[in-house]
Structure 1
Amino acid sequence: MPLKLEQLVLFQGNAKTIITPSSNEKLGYVKAKYGVHYTVNYKEKKKSAQVILPKIHFDPADSIFIPANRT
């Protein structure tokens, strides 16, 4: 099921979270509000995977959520 803008997603358990916002303002917001483990501004880092993978020791993601209605 695709996510829609402003929908709430619950992760239960010991998940590590990686968020890829499009601005440093959003990056700071999600770090402060949600305590995510890793963030990468995808507009500044065109190769986001090259930044993220070493941080997670090259383990593949178990799930990837991509919002359907980006604005």
Structure 2
Amino acid sequence: MKKIVIIGLDGVPFELIKDLSDKEVMPNTSQIIQEGDLRRMSSSLPEVSSVAWSSIITGKNPAEHGI
């Protein structure tokens, strides 16, 4: 089984990360993206951090994890 690392920057727009990476303003982040992948994330409803991150961590929707 392959291992993965998810780096999520709560509240940071995807376009900002992409733009800063493309301009190499954040060289370490740019390197991580070049060696891995950068994907847009969709939030759960309601769009509340604690609910969304709980869904990511558990793989369950808010009705299932109850947060």
Same fold by TM-score, threshold 0.5 exceeded? no
TM-score for both structures, normalised by structure 2: 0.30
Kindly name which structure, 1 or 2, has the bigger radius of gyration based on alpha carbons: 2
- If asked which structure has higher relative contact order (CA below 8 Å, sep 6+), I would say 1
**Which is richer in helix?**
2
**Which is richer in strand?**
1
